[in-house]
Amino acid sequence: MAHTGTQTQPVRSCLLLVVVSVWVQQVEGVWPLPQQLHQSADRDCLSPQRFSFTYGRDSAAQTGCSVLDAAFKRYFSIIFPDFTKGSENRLQYVWSEPQPFVVSVSVKTRGCDGYPDEDSDESYNLSVSEGQAVLRSVTVWGALRGLESFSQLVYQDDYGSYFINKTEIVDFPRFAFRGLLLDTSRHYLPLHAILKTLDAMAYSKFNVFHWHIVDDPSFPYQSRTFPDLSNKGAFHPFTHIYTQSDVIRVIEHARMRGIRVVPEFDSPGHTQSWGKGQPGLLTPCYKGGVPSGSFGPVDPTIDTTYKFMESLLKEVKFVFPDSYVHLGGDEVSFACWQSNPNVRKFMEKMECLKTHAVRVTQCLLLSQIPQDTVLEIWKGEKYQAELSRMTQAGHRVLLSAPWYINHISYGQDWRNSYAVQPQNFSGTEEQKKLVIGGEVAMWGEYVDVTNLTPRLWPRACAAAERLWSNEEKTLNADLAFPRLEEFRCELLRRGIQAEPLFVGHCKHEYDGL
């Protein structure tokens, strides 16, 4: 036995625990559940001092790949939280030399500097054996998903030692679009809250941040073309805005986690805050044949509206790299339009705006919905009928209606989200394929930075698993419960203020307050 300064606690425990490994093994602790996962009771002890990530020889990406270099660093801290905090650098007895463990990552295509998109291949294979793990994927985005799964396979015993069981994973997402909406108009969310949400999204394998950035109550986006929109339309022109640099930071933080940023500039309704910085944009409402002084949706009858919208959208398309821009189109107040004689004439001429049941670009910009527009089913309890109808018309669809998780209720309401079956509607196999995914929505009427995180997590995880995993293997919420409880504790360990699912405790409670 020799004295040294470091590296011993893990080893001592490793030796001791070989004896009891049969009872304390951890199985299937990955959320969302991989498509195929096989674990054995054999396990390996990980020593942070001898642990490394490396690029496989045949990997298209090598050192210098921004996305993966950063991910290696990030996941090292996630996997070894105690070590990173320095608490294991204590004087201890050495029982034996720690063994090395190498995670070799190989991707087929480089693409380290690009952005994830709707066609990104997120599949990966992960094989964990003695002293090593081999992670293979087509893209760096798939490698990120694999690293996340790998990090969830590592666990600590009561003495703080790190272990991983021998594991084989073949994994890929069920749906390509797994989104989460934040609403930064009804309440302003500070930048750090958005970045933290992106972190937690990556842990749950969400891949689209739908940024509902502006709406009636406020316009926090600081436009370079129209600075008055936030100067006059934000809650406060300095403290409650997103500067261009904030937006870039969000996009880059998301990119590093394989997350797309789809901005929404909802119009022609939901634009009250726009009117403050852009006089003449909104429709003057009429009462008794004269303007009442209040304003309705964007005024579709005048040329300046189209010029303004074109310039703004041009900027948006320049700032946000994603090929999608969400144009809202929901809940247009027709009463004001109908009160205005010019708009009434215009509507008669255009024969449009007769429906507003879907959140899509509307008559203002397009007289018909083009076939390649993705429709989002966001309203109503009978969303199955909408799914059926929209896919029959050949549109690709996103499901959001059952995942408005800002609607809280007492108890384990994640079970409702978990029970959703996005392809369980009347239609052909071809129609089912048109469901490209779904998204969780956290609308902001009653949510700001004070309660955002505990309302989101772990409640959003239910949809995350539904959108990623095989439905047949994840039908039973009772079976999912202990795995979700464990994942929630893992979120706490990673600094996410995720609320409890039920009575109990985590070994490491949340200590971020």
Q: Which two tokens stand for residue 360?
A: 């899509």
Query: Distance between CA atoms of 65 and 113, rounded to whole angstroms?
Result: 8
Size of the site for its own copies (CB under 8 A): 46
Catalytically active residues are: 331
Decide whether 93 or 446 has the Cβ nearer to its own copies: 446
Query: Distance between CA atoms of 405 and 502, rounded to whole angstroms?
Result: 18
Using CB under 8 A as the criterion, what x/- string covers residues 454-493 for binding its own copies? xx------------------------------------x-
Strands 177-183 and 208-212, by their bridges, are: parallel
In sequence order, what are the residues at sequence separation of 6 or more whose Cβ sits closer than 8 angstroms to the Cβ of residue 316? 263, 265, 325
> What phi and psi, each to the nearest 5 degrees, are found at residue 484?
-70, -40
Least distance to its own copies from the beta carbon of 349, Å? 36
Q: Which two tokens stand for residue 125?
A: 């294979």
Q: Is 187 in the site for its own copies (CB under 8 A)?
A: yes
Around Cβ 508, how many Cβ atoms within 10 Å?
14
Using CB under 8 A as the criterion, what x/- string covers residues 425-444 for binding its own copies? -------------------x
Buried b (16+ CB within 10 A) or exposed e, 105-115: bbbeeebbeeb
Nearest residue to 197 via CA among 500, 417, 447, 420: 447
Of 186, 257, 270, 396, the residue at the interface with its own copies (CB under 8 A) is: 186
Q: Is 381 in the site for its own copies (CB under 8 A)?
A: no
Decide whether 61 or 498 has the Cβ nearer to its own copies: 498
3-state SS assignment for residue 70: helix
Q: Is 218 in the site for its own copies (CB under 8 A)?
A: yes
Q: Is 192 in the site for its own copies (CB under 8 A)?
A: yes
Of 375, 447, 462, 464, the residue at the interface with its own copies (CB under 8 A) is: 447
Q: Is 498 in the site for its own copies (CB under 8 A)?
A: yes
Q: Which two tokens stand for residue 34?
A: 């991989």
Q: Is 301 in the site for its own copies (CB under 8 A)?
A: no
Around Cβ 297, how many Cβ atoms within 10 Å?
26
Identity at 18, one-letter amino acid code: V
* Residue count of the chain: 513
Decide whether 191 or 313 has the Cβ nearer to its own copies: 191
Element (H, E) at 479: helix 477-493
The torsion of the CA quartet 308, 309, 315, 316, rounded to 10 degrees, works out to 150
Interface segment toward its own copies; rule CB under 8 A; list 90-98, 258-266, 415-423, 504-512? 504-512
Most distant CA atoms of the chain, gap in Å: 95
Q: Is 501 in the site for its own copies (CB under 8 A)?
A: yes
Of 410, 429, 472, 476, the residue at the interface with its own copies (CB under 8 A) is: 410
Q: Is 97 in the site for its own copies (CB under 8 A)?
A: no
Interface segment toward its own copies; rule CB under 8 A; list 335-343, 345-353, 433-441, 497-505? 497-505
Of 26, 92, 416, 497, the residue at the interface with its own copies (CB under 8 A) is: 497
Decide whether 243 or 451 has the Cβ nearer to its own copies: 451
Q: Is 87 in the site for its own copies (CB under 8 A)?
A: no
Binding site for its own copies (CB under 8 A): 186-188, 190, 192-193, 217-218, 235-236, 239-240, 406-412, 444-451, 453-455, 492, 497-505, 507, 509-513
